Amino acid sequence: MNELLIKLEHALSPYAKQFAPEGSEIKAVVHQWGHAIAYDNDIFASSKGADANEILSRLKKAKCYNSAKQFKKELRDCINLNAADNPEFTFIDLFAGIGGMRQGFESAGGSCVFSSEFDKHAQDSYFENYGEYPFGDITKIANEERNHANWIDAIPKHDILVGGFPCQAFSIAGYRHGFNDKKGRGNLFFRMAEIIDLCRPRAFLLENVKNLVGHDKGNTIRVIKETITQDLGYSFIPFVLNATDHGNIPQNRERIYIVGFKGESNWSAEDKVRLDDILTHQFQIPEPIELKKTIFNILHQSQQDKRYYYPDTHQYFNELNSTIVSKKSVYQWRRVYVRENKSNVCPTLTANMGTGGHNVPLIRDDFGIRKLTPEECLGFQGFTETFKFPAKMAMSHRYKQAGNSVAVPVVSRIALEMARLLKITRD
């Protein structure tokens, strides 16, 4: 861990302890405070009594802070991925994973003021790259009862809420229980709605699997729309984009995105209002762009570690060797057979790639038949080489995190359009 972040934790943890919600680490509060001080954003739990002057006093006593300029520079120097020096808007990153949505919105000029991710291993990767340990269980921060333990009002003020809420409950590959998912995953949408309701951001972007549209004969998306428009008063703009068509990324990855703007739930092109003032009317869904990248822009050409290759003693080697013949395609292992992706793009990455599940992407290179590396999977999601996994992280977690992420360039295009519109009107 970087020396500055160690000093921050030592200086602020005793004070931050009382402000850490159940299910979140104390260091999540500490890191949020550090970023907030550096970027002049609201601090977490200011509504609960957390005091910026007390935080600054402790930082100065620990010799972590001499000036705002110095503190910001030192913090930026110890982080792989940084927001712009002078952010144009703020956002929060819910169900953050490894920060694919964050990267998209930071590239559009935003500053993340709060993040939340339940998976401990994803939290470690998030911290490794953004110098910020995410808050944990969102159900401990947002809940229907809104009792004295509720921490929604402690979340810093933000312009945009970003959330790729878990897709298992709506996926064809999942149990298809939707809002009635017995594990509660479908209900996480409503926890996000709670946060929107209380924090009232100017806009939001939600992301999920394409199958959300048709789940339960359309009832699931209908309930989501009614919640957003009737209960929350936001507009509802759903659209499906594919990474190959809209992100210049050679991966077949279709996802549904939902954009909404505050106070525009009842807008209509026929209303006698100035349409120039209606952001929903002006929002432009990204148009398709030419796919210029190929799989060879992402695949490593050198020999990889032997653990990625199938030895000739493997039980399926003969079948793989006889069917994976081209070096110009990415193949899929479909439990009992191999399928070639003849479109010359990578098939949709999944979270079970590294655990023996189906849809494992395979290639033939000059050295044999192998799986894609986790780093190549990140490349097929649009991450740059700047992103790093923690050194001791297991391969299964690396694959899961890459497969669960978003296509960053697609999110970047949506974020740029939202940022453009937020410049038009101000709260």
DSSP class of residue 327 equals S
The per-residue pLDDT for 146 is: 60
Element (H, E) at 37: helix 26-39
159 is written with which tokens? 């312009």
**pLDDT value at position 217?**
79
The pLDDT value given to residue 65: 94
DSSP state of 421: H
Q: Give DSSP secondary structure letters for 204-259.
A: EEEEEEGGGGTGGGGHHHHHHHHIIIIIS-B--EEEEEEHHHHSS-SB--EEEEEE
Count H helices and E strands in the chain, helices first.
14, 10
- 167 is an active site residue: yes
How buried is residue 327: exposed, middle or buried, by Cβ count under 10 Å (0-12/13-18/19+)?
A: exposed
Q: Which two tokens stand for residue 107?
A: 């590239």
pLDDT (0 to 100) of residue 354: 65
**Cβ-defined contacts of 266-271 (< 8 Å, 24+):** 266/229, 267/235
* Residues lower than pLDDT 50 in the chain: none
Contact, 61 vs 11, CB < 8 A? yes
Mean pLDDT, rounded, of the chain = 90
CATH class of 84-290+390-427: alpha beta
Largest CA distance in the chain: 73
Catalytic residue among 112, 167, 199, 377: 167
Q: What pLDDT does 196 receive?
A: 96
How far apart CA 59 and CA 397 sit, in angstroms, is 35
Answer whether 25's CB lies under 8 Å from 133's CB.
yes
Q: Is the dihedral of CA 230, 236, 240, 241 positive or negative?
A: negative
pLDDT score of 326: 94
| Residue 149: predicted pLDDT | 65
All structural domains of the chain with their residue ranges = 1-78, 84-290+390-427, 301-372
